[in-house]
C-alpha cells in the first residue's frame, strides 16, 4: 500500500487580522505523486505549501505528515523535527530569500550540516550535487551575484543535498528563460522517476500539463474547487474559468482576430465562432 505523505483535514488558515487564506481544505497526497496546486493570485497556494512544510500551522483542522500531526511542538521536537526536515524540501518562490550563505558551496552544505551529517558526507553531497546541476564553476561564487536562472538552480540544489523524499515548489518556473524552464521540467521528471513526491504551485498551465499528474485547484474563495487528474482539469473550460486560471481575450492567429477562452495548451484546435477578417 502506498504511504500517505500528507493528510490535510478541514484546514482553515487566516493571517492575523486578515480574511481567510484557506477555508475548509481537505486532501491526501501519497508517496511518489506529482501534484500541482493551481489557483489565481492570493488564492492561498503558497500558504498551503507553508502549512505542508510546518512553517505555518492551521487555525482549525489539521495537517499530518508521515502520520504525525504538524504542530509547533512536533516540528521542533527531535527525532521527528530532524526526520521531517530531511524528508521535506521547500523551494521558495523568492530565491533571494532562500540563498543566505556567503558562497554557493556553503549554501549547498547548509541543509546537510543542520542535519548533523558527517563532514565527509556533506562534502560528497555538495560535490555530487554541483556536478549534477552543472554548476561546479559557481562553487565559490556569492549567490547574490548570480543570474535569476542560476539562483533557481542553486536554490533547488541546496534542497537536493538533504535528499528529501518530498519537494514543495512555490512557483518554480516563474521568471525562468525557456532553456532553464526546460531543464527544470526534465529534472523534476528525473526526480519523480526516483520516487520523489513533487508538490508545486504554479500559474503556468503548460508546465503543469507537462510534469504533474494530479491537480488541486483552489478557488478565489480559498476553497478546494477540484482534486483530480491534470488532463481532465485542463480540459474543463468552465472549471478553469471559474478559478480564474484562463480567460477570454482577443487574440490573433490564422490571419484572424477572435475571442475565446485562452489556454496555451491544446486549445488552438477550436471552432472559430466569433471571427472577423483583418
Partner 1 sequence: MNELTIPEWYENSDLDNVTCPPRASRRAGAPVRRALAAIGEAMTKFLIDSPCVGSWLGAVEPRLKVAGVFLLVIACTLLHSLWSLGAMFAMAVTLALSIGLPVKRLLGVWLGAPLFSLAIIIPAATNLVTPGDAVLRIWDFGGSVHLGPWVLPHAIIVTDSGLTVAARFLLRSLDCITLSYLLIASTDSMVLLNGLRRLGMPKVFGMVLTMTQRYLAVMLRVAEEIHLAKLSRTISAGPLRNEQKWVAAGIGMLFRRTQKLAGEVQNAMISRGYDGDLQIRLRAAIKASDVMWLICSLAFAFVLYVFDKR
The single residue among 94, 145, 147, 189 that binds partner 1, judged by CB under 8 A, is 94
Beta carbon nearer to partner 1, 80 or 206: 80
Strand partners, 35: 199, 214
3-state secondary structure of 96: helix
Does residue 102 belong to the site contacting partner 1 (CB under 8 A)? yes
**91 in Cβ contact with 98 (< 8 Å):** yes
139/178 Cα distance (integer angstroms): 24
Residues 6+ positions from 73 with CB-CB distance below 8 Å? none
| Cα–Cα dist 36/201, whole Å | 6
Cβ proximity to partner 1: between 81 and 182 the closer is 81
Residue closer to partner 1 (CB basis): 121 or 177: 121
Of 59 and 86, which CB lies nearer to partner 1 in the complex structure?
A: 86
CB 228 within 8 A of CB 215: yes
Helix then strand then coil, in percent of the chain rounded to 5, is 35, 30, 35
Residue 204 grid coordinates: 503556468
By the rule CB under 8 A, 76 interacts with partner 1? yes
Binding window for partner 1 (CB under 8 A); candidates: 3-11, 48-56, 188-196, 262-270:
48-56
Q: Does 172 bind partner 1 (CB under 8 A)?
A: no
The answer to whether residues 85 and 161 touch, using CB atoms and an 8 Å cutoff, is: no
Binding of partner 1 by 65 (CB under 8 A):
no
147 sits near partner 1 (criterion: CB under 8 A): no
Q: Applying CB under 8 A, which of residues 110, 133, 207, 212 lies at the interface with partner 1?
A: 110
Binding status of residue 66 toward partner 1 by CB under 8 A: no
| Rounded Cα gap, residues 268 and 219, in angstroms | 25
Residue 119 interacting with partner 1 (CB under 8 A)? yes
Check binding of 125 to partner 1 (CB under 8 A).
no
Residues forming the site for partner 1 (CB under 8 A): 50, 53, 55, 76, 81-82, 85-86, 88-90, 92, 94, 96-98, 100-102, 106, 109-111, 113-116, 119, 122, 158-159, 162
Amino acid at each position: 500500500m502506498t504511504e500517505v505523505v500528507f493528510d490535510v483535514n478541514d484546514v482553515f488558515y487566516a493571517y492575523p487580522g486578515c480574511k481567510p487564506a484557506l477555508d475548509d481544505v481537505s486532501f491526501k497526497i501519497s508517496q511518489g505523486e506529482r501534484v500541482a496546486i493551481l489557483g489565481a493570485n492570493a488564492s492561498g497556494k503558497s500558504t498551503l505549501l507553508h502549512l505542508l512544510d510546518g512553517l505555518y500551522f492551521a487555525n482549525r483542522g489539521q495537517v499530518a505528515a508521515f502520520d504525525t500531526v504538524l504542530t509547533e511542538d512536533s516540528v521542533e521536537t527531535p527525532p521527528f523535527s530532524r526526520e521531517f526536515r530531511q524528508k521535506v524540501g521547500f523551494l521558495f518562490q523568492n530565491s533571494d530569500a532562500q540563498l543566505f550563505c556567503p558562497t554557493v558551496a556553503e549554501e549547498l552544505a547548509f541543509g546537510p550540516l543542520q542535519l548533523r551529517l558527517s563532514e565527509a558526507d556533506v562534502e560528497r553531497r555538495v560535490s555530487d550535487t554541483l556536478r549534477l546541476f552543472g554548476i561546479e564553476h559557481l562553487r565559490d561564487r556569492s549567490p547574490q551575484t548570480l543570474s535569476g536562472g542560476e539562483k533557481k538552480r542553486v536554490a533547488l540544489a541546496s534542497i537536493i543535498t538533504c535528499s528529501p523524499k518530498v519537494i514543495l515548489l512555490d512557483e518554480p518556473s516563474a521568471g525562468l528563460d525557456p532553456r532553464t524552464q526546460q531543464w527544470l521540467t526534465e529534472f523534476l521528471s528525473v526526480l519523480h522517476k526516483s520516487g520523489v513526491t513533487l508538490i508545486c504551485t504554479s500559474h503556468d498551465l503548460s508546465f503543469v500539463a507537462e510534469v504533474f499528474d494530479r491537480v488541486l485547484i483552489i478557488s478565489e474563495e480559498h476553497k478546494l474547487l477540484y482534486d483530480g487528474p491534470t488532463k481532465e482539469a485542463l480540459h474543463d473550460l468552465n472549471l478553469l474559468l471559474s478559478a480564474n486560471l484562463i480567460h477570454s481575450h482577443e487574440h490573433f492567429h490564422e490571419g484572424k482576430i477572435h475571442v475565446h477562452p485562452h489556454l496555451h495548451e491544446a486549445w488552438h484546435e477550436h471552432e472559430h465562432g466569433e471571427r472577423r477578417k483583418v
